[in-house]
Structure 1
Amino acid sequence: MNGLRVIESGTGPAVLWVHGYTMDSTLWQPLWDLLPGWRHIGVDLPGHGGSEPLRRGQTLPELALRLAAFADAEVAHRVVGLSFGSGVALQMALEAPEVVRNLVLAAPTLGGAPPDPAARRRYMELMTLRRARGAPEQMAELWMDSPPDIFRGTEAHPALRARLREVIGRHSWAELDTGAMAMLGMHRHPPEDLARVRARTTVIVGDSDMPVFTANAHTLQENVPGCELRVIPGTAHLPLLERPEIAADAVFQGLSLPEKVGKVI
C-alpha cells in the first residue's frame, strides 16, 4: 500500500488488522498462527512501524476512507481493530459499509468518550519527556509504566512485554511534535452514528480492562444493531495480545458471522 507498510500471512478470505497506538503489525503474528484459513493483512498506521509519518491535520474519516479503499482492493471485508485501532476500524465501517461486513473491536476506543484520567496525564508526561529529548527507551518505559493500566496485563507475560518494549522503542513519537494525533482524537462517535453501523460487529474486552473501555464495550453493545460482546478472562487492555490462545475463538466467531441480509446495496 503506497506509503504504508503491509504485512501478510496465510491464505483464505482476507482480514484487515489495525493495531493500537505506538504498536505495529508485527505483533499480530502469535494470534494469526492460531487462526489458519484466513489471509491476514496487517497495515502499519501512519506514524507507526514502517509507514510514512502521520500527516498533521488528517482526520479520522480521511484515514478510515484510505484504509477502506485498500481493504476494498484486497477484498478484505473483515476488519479487526485493537484499542486505538478499533476506533479506526469503527470509522471504516461507518465510512464504507459496503466494504466492512464483519467488524471485531477489541479494547474499544470511542471518539468523544471520557478519557482515562491516568492515560491523559501520561500523555502530557510523554510530551514533556519528548521536549526534554528523552531517549527512545525512556519514552517506551514511561509509556508502558502503570498507571495507566494500558500495559499492566502484559506484566504476566514477559516475552510479550519484551516484544512490546522493542516495538514501542522504535516508535518515532513525531506526532508529539506536530500534534497530528490531536486531530484524529477530535472525532466523535455519538450513539446515532453507532446505530448506523451495518457490519456484523463483535466487541472483545478483557475482564480486567480499564473502566473507560469496559464502558465503551457496553455502549457499543447497546447502540450497534446486533452487536455481540465477548469478555476474555485473565486479560486487561490488550486481550488479543495477552491471551491469544483464548481470544482466538472470539475473533474467529466474529470473523465467521454471516453478513446481514440486505446490508449491501
Structure 2
Amino acid sequence: MNGLRVVESGTGPAVLWLHGYTMDLTLWEPLWGLLPGWRHIGVDLPGHGGSEPLRPGVTLPALAARLAEIASAERADRVVGLSFGSCVALQMALEAPEVVRHLVLAAPTLGGAPPDPAARRRYLELMMLRRAGGAREQMAELWMSSPPDIFRGTEAHPELRARLREVIGRHSWAELDSGAMAGLTAHRHSAEDLVRIRARTTVIIGDSDMPVFVDNAKMLEKMVAQCDIRTIYHSGHLPLLECPEMSAKAVFAGLALSERVDTA
C-alpha cells in the first residue's frame, strides 16, 4: 500500500505496529502470538524491510500523515511503536487525533530530545564505515555492539539476538548515503505538542534502558493528559522484543483502554 509493506495477522480490533530503526515488521510475530483477539497490522517503515526507500526531504509529519491514512483505512485506532517507531506513532497522534485513540510507546523517543551521547557517536561511526565500503554484516555488527546500550539487553536472549542480526543484516543503509534520515530526526516535539495529545497513552520502559529514554518517559507522563508508565523488569531498550511475555500484559492494558479524553 503506497509503496509500504503492510502485513495483517489475526482478527479483532485493529492495531498498527511500528518497528525501530533498522528493523522490520517480522520481529513482532512472537508478541502478536501472545495477543490473540486483535487484528495486528504491521508496517515496514520507508527504507526498511520490504518497503520503498526513504526519500530525502521526507519529514516526520509527512511520514506520520501517510501512516495515519493506512491506520484510517484499516480502522486501526490503536498504534504501538518501539524506539524510533514510537516517535512516529507520537507524531501520528498529533497529525490525526481523530484516527489515533490509543498509543503504546515503548522505549519512548521524542523528536528533538537530546540524544544518547554514545548512540550519536555510533551513528557517526556507521556513516564512516559505510563510506569506507563496509559490508552489511559489518554494519550490523557495529550497530549492535555496546555502548550504546541499544542492543545490550538482547545479550541475555541469544535467539532474539540472532534474529535481530539477521534482520539488520538485510538493512540497506541507503539513508546514510542520501542523508534521508535527517528530514525525520530534525523534527522537534515541544512541550506544546505533547499537551495536545488526546490519545490514551501507555509508555513502556525497560528498567535497564538508557537514561535518555527514562527521561522521555517522565516527560510524557508529565505533559500528556492521560498517560501511565509501565516498567518491564530485566529488560533494556527493546522490552517488547526482549521480554514479550511480560510486555504483552502491558501492551494489552494499553490497547484495551476504551475511554478517550474530551477535547478541552
Give the structure-2-normalised TM-score: 0.99
Distance 1:261 1:138 in 2: 47
Distance 1:123 1:168 in 2: 15
* Contact preservation (8 Å) 1:108, 1:203: yes
2:113 aligned with 1:113: yes
Deviation, 1:6, is 1.0
Deviation, 1:259, is 2.7
* Contact preservation (8 Å) 2:11, 2:37: yes
* Contact preservation (8 Å) 2:198, 2:226: no
Distance 2:261 2:196 in 1: 15
* Contact preservation (8 Å) 1:7, 1:26: no
Deviation, 1:2, is 2.1
2:252 aligned with 1:260: no
- Match of residue 78 from structure 2: 78
- Match of residue 199 from structure 2: 199
Deviation per CA, 1:45-101: give whole Å up to 9, x if none.
Answer: 000000000010000000000000110010000000000000000000000000000
- Match of residue 213 from structure 1: 213
Aligned-residue CA RMSD in angstroms?
1.0
Tell me the number of residue pairs that the alignment of Structure 1 and Structure 2 aligns.
264
Give the structure-1-normalised TM-score: 0.98
Query: What are the within-5 Å matches in structure 2 for residues 61-76 of structure 1?
Result: 61-76=61-76
Unaligned runs of 5+ in 1: none
- Match of residue 159 from structure 1: 159
Distance 1:154 1:259 in 2: 35
Unaligned runs of 5+ in 2: none
Query: What are the within-5 Å matches in structure 2 for residues 1-265 of structure 1?
Result: 1-263=1-263
* Contact preservation (8 Å) 1:47, 1:54: yes
SS at match of 1:112: coil
* Contact preservation (8 Å) 2:208, 2:236: yes
Distance 2:215 2:2 in 1: 36
SS at match of 1:79: strand
Distance 2:130 2:175 in 1: 10
Moved over 2 A (4+): 261-264
Distance 1:261 1:104 in 2: 16
Deviation, 1:261, is 4.9
Distance 1:187 1:246 in 2: 32
Percent of paired sites with the same residue: 78
Q: What amino acid sits opposite 1:94 in the alignment?
A: L
Q: What amino acid sits opposite 1:243 in the alignment?
A: C
Distance 1:111 1:73 in 2: 26
Distance 1:135 1:142 in 2: 11
Deviation per CA, 1:196-228: give whole Å up to 9, x if none.
Answer: 001000000000000000000000000000101
Deviation, 1:38, is 0.1
Distance 2:256 2:186 in 1: 33
